[in-house]
Amino acid sequence: MCGIFGIINDKKNQAANTVLDGLKKLEYRGYDSWGISIIDEGKNQIQVDKHIGKIGEAKTNLPPGKIALGHTRWATHGGVTDNNAHPHLDCTKKIAVIHNGIVENYQELKEELLVKDHKFISETDTEVIAHLIEEKSKSKSIKEAIFETFKLLRGSNAIAVLDFTSQAIIACRNGSPLVVGIGSDQYFLASDVPAFLKETNKVYFLNDGDAVILSNSGIKLFNIETGKEKNLISQILDWKLEDAEKNGFPHFLLKEIYEQLKTIPKTTSINEKQIKELSEKIKSGYKVILTGCGTASYCALATKYFFAQIGIDAQAIPSYEFMPFSKFIDEKTIVFAISQSGETADTLIAVKEAKKRGAEIIAVINARGSTLERLADTVLSVGAGPEIAVVSTKAFTSQLATLYLLTTAVTDRLEEGKVKIINLGKVLTKWLDVQSIKRLVSLAKRLMDEEHIYLIGKHINYPATLEFALKIKETSYVHAEPFSAGELKHGVITLIQKGTPCFVLASNDEVKDEVLSSAAEIKARGGLIIGVAPFESNEFDVLIKTPDLGDLTVFANIIVGQLLGYYLGVGRGADPDKPRNLAKSVTVK
């Protein structure tokens, strides 16, 4: 939700272009508008270039310079207009502010500033910050003015300020992510590492309450509350440059779908000590609650089915529906918070509530250095590497594989579980050959003009229908509605007409026949039945045959949805990496 990127000491003296390139790597965080501010030594005020729309192949006419700060926006307050695009300037044009989050009390702050004659150009909450800093800097140092302003902001926010006078970038974090990159004589500030990964993998992730000042002389870390300097302990990430590049694929989404062939088996290098300790607690009777949002909530639901298979009654509660059930949490509860980014506001709220009630928090996350990581008692890092496409794919399957392994550990079958996951990787690799892709592309062409698609599945294939449908909706904007196989006939079957496409997700399991009966009922009403299953059936008009992987067949069934969504999206002219209205990490409620 909004991307921030700034540089100090640009080696090439082309800071605006460097920031533009970095913002292109962060576009997944918001693509309503973009903007860059720069200190041009020949001028006595900050220069700004900002535009609505995706950054795409944009160029900037900003002059050369060594210091610049930019932003990609996912609009919250104020429509998508050039004026509302960040950065926002104060009245003197010597302070430029960019922001990720929502200033909940911006109206009251704005009223006070209007009385003092500040002129506002945008409708955003962010512009208030620029004028507040201007006002406070009349009697205080810029550092004090920024820290004091930041303390006045209600809500979850990260701000970054380009200050003309001190030639510095000053940033504060409370709730929204910020990371600094330490290059050789160049320093970076970003919402996420891919922005500067080309230059450095030496990083420091800011904690809530941290501020940094980036200047010619380096990076200084501060505690916002006390204003005192802190020791900055950096870390080296094992991410490689190609993790943030498309590497010959037309889109990140397709690259990440294929990466699953490696990232799924990689989950077997799980921290065994952690997994065994957790499984002992679960065996000893701890309540298990799984939570997350969107795709991560479907991972929670699928894991609930895996737990049921081993006789454990786990609860799966979407984080945005967590509160009514939080009263059942006590000290003998383990909450698995599933999140790609570790920054999803609804998930964090649920986790904080669970923590308050004494639960042990296990973060099942992909990104590094997140808020969730800091809140958790244990971090199960799923190691899928940077997920750049907005739509989640490889993080989801790695989370599900990790949690599947946990369920095998609970029944003392971890080694067997690992063999199955490694085999899953091998079988998927063989299956995803040219022929499989051709069949999917031809199915996508057949469905290209459909406006409604229905999906049914039962038991573990029910959460699979939810995830499959979400991939179709997000990537192609086709309305795809998932149901448990049993549910359709209780009402929604009225919507089936001659030719209505209906996917039937199935495995060779105990409910296969029931699912096929539901398929027959739809077929009898003229529906077009598309089987996604490891077997043939007379009920299927079309079959996308998946490999028979026992209880892990569901992985292949879901990958069909990812690929179909991708090819449908491309065919219908959507941008598969950046679906409209979406942002990669939803850091607002």
Query: Interface with ligand F6R by CB under 6 A: which residues?
Result: 292-296, 339-341, 344, 347, 391-392, 470, 474, 585-586
Active site residues: 2, 584
| Cβ atoms 2, 583 nearer than 8 A | yes
Cα atoms in the 13 Å half-sphere on the side-chain side of 312 = 28
Rounded to the nearest whole angstrom, what is the least distance from the CB of residue 226 to ligand F6R in the complex?
32
Task: Give dist(CA 236, CA 191) in Å, integer.
Answer: 17
The smaller minimum CB distance to ligand F6R, of residues 254 and 391, is found at 391
The smaller minimum CB distance to ligand F6R, of residues 374 and 426, is found at 374
The smaller minimum CB distance to ligand F6R, of residues 38 and 351, is found at 351
Task: Give dist(CA 236, CA 551) in Å, integer.
Answer: 38
The smaller minimum CB distance to ligand F6R, of residues 295 and 518, is found at 295
Task: Give dist(CA 22, CA 195) in Å, integer.
Answer: 4
Task: Give dist(CA 162, CA 150) in Å, integer.
Answer: 15
- Which residue has its beta carbon closest to ligand F6R? 294
Rounded to the nearest whole angstrom, what is the least distance from the CB of residue 160 to ligand F6R in the complex?
22
Q: How many Cβ atoms are within 10 Å of 75's Cβ, its own excluded?
A: 18
- Residue 173, token pair as written in the block: 């974090």
The smaller minimum CB distance to ligand F6R, of residues 47 and 585, is found at 585
Rounded to the nearest whole angstrom, what is the least distance from the CB of residue 572 to ligand F6R in the complex?
17
Q: How many Cβ atoms are within 10 Å of 201's Cβ, its own excluded?
A: 18
- b/e 551-581 (16+ beta carbons within 10 angstroms → b): bbbbbbbbbbbbbbbbbbbbeeebbbbbbee
Rounded to the nearest whole angstrom, what is the least distance from the CB of residue 562 to ligand F6R in the complex?
9
Q: State the helix-helix crossing angle for 414-431 and 252-266, rounded to 10 degrees.
A: 150
DSSP H helices in 153-269: 252-266
Task: Give dist(CA 21, CA 18) in Å, integer.
Answer: 5
The smaller minimum CB distance to ligand F6R, of residues 470 and 504, is found at 470
Rounded to the nearest whole angstrom, what is the least distance from the CB of residue 474 to ligand F6R in the complex?
5
Rounded to the nearest whole angstrom, what is the least distance from the CB of residue 589 to ligand F6R in the complex?
13
The smaller minimum CB distance to ligand F6R, of residues 124 and 587, is found at 587
Rounded to the nearest whole angstrom, what is the least distance from the CB of residue 298 to ligand F6R in the complex?
8
Rounded to the nearest whole angstrom, what is the least distance from the CB of residue 396 to ligand F6R in the complex?
7
Task: Give dist(CA 1, CA 192) in Å, integer.
Answer: 11
The smaller minimum CB distance to ligand F6R, of residues 17 and 371, is found at 371
Beta-bridge partner residues of 324: none
What are the strands of the beta sheet with 235-236, ordered from one edge? 47-52, 33-38, 68-73, 3-8, 187-190, 179-182, 202-205, 235-236
Rounded to the nearest whole angstrom, what is the least distance from the CB of residue 348 to ligand F6R in the complex?
9
User: Residue for token digits 């599933």?
Assistant: 338
Listed in order, strand segments (DSSP E) in 225-283 are 229-230, 235-236
Rounded to the nearest whole angstrom, what is the least distance from the CB of residue 582 to ligand F6R in the complex?
7
- Residue 208, token pair as written in the block: 């809530």
The smaller minimum CB distance to ligand F6R, of residues 360 and 474, is found at 474
Contacts of 87 (CB under 8 A, 6+ apart): 35, 36, 37, 46, 48, 50, 69, 70, 71, 96, 97, 98, 162
CA distances from 385 to 2, 195, 252, 443 (A): 20, 15, 12, 30
| Cβ atoms 367, 344 nearer than 8 A | no
Task: Give dist(CA 207, CA 209) in Å, integer.
Answer: 6
The smaller minimum CB distance to ligand F6R, of residues 135 and 346, is found at 346
Task: Give dist(CA 136, CA 376) in Å, integer.
Answer: 37
